[in-house]
Amino acid sequence: MEKISVNSNLCDGCMNCENMCASVHSASRIKIIEHHSMYYSIVCQHCENAPCITICPTDAITDEGVDTEKCIGCGLCVMACPFGAMTFQASTAEKCDLCADREEGPACIKACTKRAISIVDPAKVKAKNQEKFLSKMAGLYEPANKQSSFVHVITSQARARLVLDE
């Protein structure tokens, strides 16, 4: 599942994302917090086995969001969320749903003038990081024989034998 990602190196703490989210949803579902002169986001991480979904006694919370008709405002989801991303508005739980009802995508992304907010797919990020790592490793171990794809490791004893055999 896709997730909202905020690049702390680009975020300047302008709060445009919070304000736009609040205007669209009546309460902001993203929170920007300053910590040691850097800005970090608190937003739903759309956990796989989400504690907020598991603990909800009325099954009001799903991967897609919160069914306000079912929510009784008990607050168990707020206590269970490991990120502190659940919010309450008028005694009803709310969480980021990636603005599923908006054709133009998440409001917070559109509002960010620094382009610090994006939607990422963790599987794609993982694959990209693996490819980058493999490219780096391949550059370290160039095969001695260009036709061979094996990595040749020569111990000091084997190297000594090669020198003596010549």
- Range of weakest confidence among 73-77, 97-101, 112-116, 153-157: 153-157
Distance CA 164, CA 162 (A): 6
* Percentage above 70 pLDDT, the chain: 84
Q: What is the pLDDT of residues 20-35, one digit of tens each?
A: 999 998 889 999 999 9
Q: What are the extents of the domains in the chain?
A: 3-129, 140-165
Distance CA 84, CA 132 (A): 33
Q: What is the pLDDT of residues 96-125, one digit of tens each?
A: 999 988 998 899 999 999 999 999 988 898
